Structure 1
Amino acid sequence: MSPYLNQIKPWVSVICTSYNHEAYVEQALQSVVDQTYPNVELIVIDNGSTDGSADVITRFVSRHPAVRFLPNPTNLGLNRAFNQGLALAGGRYIIDLSADDVLLPNRISLQADLFEELAGPYAVVFSNAAYIDEQGTETALHYPVDEHGHTRVKVPSGDVFRNILESYFICTPTMMMRRDVLNELGGYDETLSFEDFDFWVRSSRHYHYAYLDEVLTQKRRLADSMQSQVIMPGNQLLRSSLAVCYKAFDRCTAPSDYKALAKRIRKLIRKAFYTEQFDLAIQFGQLLQYIEPPGVLTTLILSLSHLHLPINSLYRHYLKWRRSPQSPYPQVKLV
């Protein structure tokens, strides 16, 4: 990586983590190679896959020898695997690419150019995304758009700490991040089961985010995705969320921050209850009481948590019905 070239067009490091993505990893890697931006390095970590992912990556690297490949013999967890790549990355900016997602050809160019134009403490540039299924067919957009392709909703930008606490509004794989900020934070927290909420909380307290109003990434939704795991009993995602909520609590400075965090905690109490993680629901409730009284509905859910009701099967049947075309209330949300 020439320092001279890095001044003209800063290098961007794409860290692609793969675990049992044999059917999709080649398309993900090819989407990096096909970028219109000139200065891109690609680092691939196979995280102990038990399918043919490592073989697919090996063949790809043989055709593109500049790609760096780290095959882990066992699964080290998503966050630790990403940190392996981060330790090798030399780019000014970082993209965390899942091996089942796809970058559109002009993504890196547009995001890197915007980063270079920004003034002030910006750590992240993110964008709109298209959701695709197993076959690659587009099924939805993260943000709805008008006839000109511009989002119809107001997307938070700048100081987004309070927005981060309130809701998930960023499509994680669309982010481009400053490497120095990631290094300052020590990378992803390897004690957690997922990365995005924690990174958002820790980075947005001191840095700004910029939204680029373009569809630049295809995010694949699979049946065994993390989104589907969060509704299952025993999943570790909610326990990680509790740890992040405590981090967020320590970083709140204004009444509006605490109010936003309380709103998030109430949602997580319901999710813990529906997944029969009753002890976790009560722990979320204890954190909520540091901020404000739980309220009637949340108090009821916390009381029911002591009864250990077998509710998860009913909850999953409800979610399946809600998503079906026959449902008269497809937009009703229980969580």
Structure 2
Amino acid sequence: MSPYLNRIKPWVTVICTSYNHEDYVQQALQSVVDQDYPNVELIVIDNGSTDRSAERIAAFTQSHPAVRFILNSVNLGLNKAFNQGLALAKGRYVVDLSADDVLLPGRITKQTACFEQLSGPYAVVFSNASYINAQGKEIGFHYAVDATGHACSRVPTGDVFRPILESYFICTPTMMIRKDVLDELGGYDETLTYEDFDFWVRSSRHYHYAYVDEVLTQKRQLSTSLSTQVVLPDNDLLRSTLVVCQKAFDRCATPDEYRSLASRIQTFIRKSFYAEQFDLALQFGKLLQQIEQPDWLSSLVLRLSQLHMPVNSLYRYYLKWQSSYKAPFRATKPL
């Protein structure tokens, strides 16, 4: 990783975090070493897996001794595990890869080329993704594509702070991130359960995002994925989301940004109610009132939250029924 080579072809560090991914981790790692880009550093962290993930990773490193392997005896949390890899990373750019996802051929080359051509305060280059199931079958796209493989809808780029408050329009594993920006932010917030919303809020306030209009990653959809846990009464995802919404409130600067955040908070009031996290729903309500008065639906949900209405079982039954009649999968909204 000489400075000379880093100027010609900047090094890219892929940080792969694994937790009970024995069926998928080898494919994920292979997709990294198969990239046509010459300067890729791969760091793998097994985060206290209870299956054979660590064995699969260790076997892979026997064939690829340049791969750095960190073995945690217990699960330290996703964000702390990533930060372990970040502390060792030498690349100019970083890819955060889950051990059940797959990099498609040419991804690192194309995103690095995009980064190197950008001028201005860009921190992230992201792309489209296809979604695959446990068996690897394609089940849809993050952004619907036309016959040429390009997104059918406009994708926000540049200053994306307000769009990030409005919706989860970025497929997280498609991101390539400038390492110096991650270092400036202190990596991922280790007090939180998940990483992306917080990173987007903190980075997009000061930096821009660019989009490569190609499908460059396969994102695996599993019933055990972190995003599916948001409906569970004992999940910590919503509490982390409240913290991030409070951070976003402190960073809003225009009426449009506050309105976008208010819309997002109203969504989380309902999600907290459905998960029977009633105190959390009321805390979201207090944050909303600092921006605007709740609409009639949010007011009703907040009132029902005070009454501790048991709704979770019914809501989860509804989601199960809805999924059986769902149209072909097109996009994901983790929370």
The TM-score with structure 1 as length reference comes to 0.97
Question: What is the alpha-carbon distance in structure 1 between the residues aligned to residue 184 and residue 326 of structure 2?
Answer: 50
Looking at structure 1, the residues matched to 155 and 53 of structure 2 have their Cα atoms a distance apart, in angstroms, of 36
Q: Name the residue aligned to 1:78.
A: 78
- Between the aligned partners of 2:184 and 2:78, the Cα distance in structure 1 is 19
Alignment partner of 1:17: what SS?
strand
Paired residue secondary structure (2:304): helix
1:165 aligns with 2:155: no
Deviation at 1:202, TM superposition (A): 0.1
Q: Deviation per CA, 1:207-259: give whole Å up to 9, x if none.
A: 00001100000000111111210111110000000000000000001111100
Cα distance in 1 between the residues matched to 2:84 and 2:213: 31
Question: Deviation of residue 323 (structure 1)?
Answer: 1.4
Give the equivalent residue in structure 2 for 1:238: 238
After TM superposition, the structure 1 = structure 2 runs for residues 105-254 of structure 1, keeping only pairs within 5 Å, are 105-254=105-254
Letter matched to residue 213 of structure 1: D
Name the SS of the counterpart of 1:126 in structure 2: strand
Take 1:178 and 1:120, find their aligned partners in 2: how far apart are those partners? 13
Look up the match of 1:36.
36
Give the Cα–Cα distance (whole angstroms) in 1 for the partners of residues 283 and 251 of structure 2: 19
Identify the residue that residue 305 of structure 2 maps to in structure 1: 305
Q: Offset at 1:174?
A: 0.2
> 1:16-31, aligned counterparts within 5 Å?
16-31=16-31
- Give 3-state SS (helix, strand or coil) of 1:212's partner: strand
Specify the alignment match of 1:287 in structure 2.
287
Question: What amino acid is aligned across from residue 54 of structure 1 in structure 2?
Answer: A
Could you tell me which residue of structure 2 aligns to residue 269 of structure 1? 269
TM-score calculated relative to the size of structure 2: 0.97
1-side partners of 2:219 and 2:176: how far apart?
Answer: 15
Q: Supply the distance in 2 between the matched residues of 1:66 and 1:36 (Cα, whole angstroms).
A: 16
Task: Give the distance between the partners of 1:132 and 1:295, measured in 2 at CA.
Answer: 38
Partners of 2:27 and 2:43 in 1: CA distance = 15
Q: 1:91 matched to which residue of 2?
A: 91
Aligned residues: 331
After superposing the two structures, state which structure 1 stretch, 94-103 or 318-327, moved more. Answer: 318-327
Deviation at 1:2, TM superposition (A): 1.3
Q: Which amino acid counterpart does residue 17 of structure 1 have in structure 2?
A: T
Return the letter of the residue paired with 1:308. H
Measure the CA separation in 2 of the matches of 1:154 and 1:237: 29
SS in 1 for 2:290: helix
Letter in 2 for 1:250: D
User: Following the alignment from structure 1 to structure 2, what is the Cα–Cα distance between the partners of residues 110 and 217?
Assistant: 12
CA–CA distance in structure 1, aligned partners of residues 227 and 200 of structure 2: 18
CA change 1:107–1:326 in 2 (3 A) is closer
For residue 295 of structure 1, report the CA deviation from its aligned partner: 1.6
User: Which whole-Å CA distance do the structure 2 matches of 1:325 and 1:200 have between them?
Assistant: 32
The one-letter code matched in structure 2 to 1:252 is: C
Deviation at residue 296 of structure 1 after TM alignment:
1.3
User: CA, structure 1 residues 275+135, in 2 after alignment: closer, same or farther (shift >3 Å)?
Assistant: same
CA distance in 1, matches of 2:143, 2:202: 24
1:275-319 deviation per Cα after TM superposition (whole angstroms, max 9, x unaligned) = 100000000000000000012111111000011111011101111
Distance 2:297 2:223 in 1: 32
**What CA RMSD, in Å, does the superposition of the two structures yield over aligned residues?**
1.5
Residue in 1 aligned with 2:278? 278
Give the distance between the partners of 1:130 and 1:2, measured in 2 at CA.
35
Specify the code of the residue in structure 2 equivalent to 1:272: S
Q: Which segments of structure 1 move beyond 3 Å, counting only runs of 4 or more? A: none
1:325 positional shift: 3.1
| Aligned equivalents of 1:162, 1:234: Cα separation in 2 | 30
Q: For residue 326 of structure 1, report the CA deviation from its aligned partner.
A: 8.1
Q: How far, CA to CA, are the matches of 2:265 and 2:325 in structure 1?
A: 31
Aligned mates of 2:9, 2:194 — CA distance in 1: 31
Following the alignment from structure 1 to structure 2, what is the Cα–Cα distance between the partners of residues 146 and 217?
17
Q: Which amino acid aligns with 1:204?
A: S
User: Structure 1, unaligned stretches of length 5 or more?
Assistant: none
**SS of the counterpart of 1:230?**
helix
Tell me how far apart the structure 2 counterparts of residues 49 and 295 of structure 1 sit (CA, whole Å). Answer: 44
Cα distance between partner residues in 2 of 1:14 and 1:81: 13
Give how far 1:320 is off.
1.1
Instruction: Tell me the distance in 1 between the aligned counterparts of 2:153 and 2:168.
Output: 14
Q: How far apart, in 2, do the equivalents of 1:51 and 1:298 lie? A: 42
Residue number in structure 1 paired with 2:321: 321
Distance 1:326 1:186, change over 3 A: closer
Q: Distance in 2 between matches of 1:70 and 1:273?
A: 39
- 2: CA distance, partners of 1:309 / 1:11: 53
List runs of 5+ in structure 2 lacking aligned partners.
Answer: none
Q: Distance in 1 between matches of 2:3 and 2:294?
A: 55
Instruction: State how far apart, in whole Å, the 2-side matches of 1:295 and 1:78 are.
Output: 35
Q: Distance in 1 between matches of 2:325 and 2:120?
A: 47
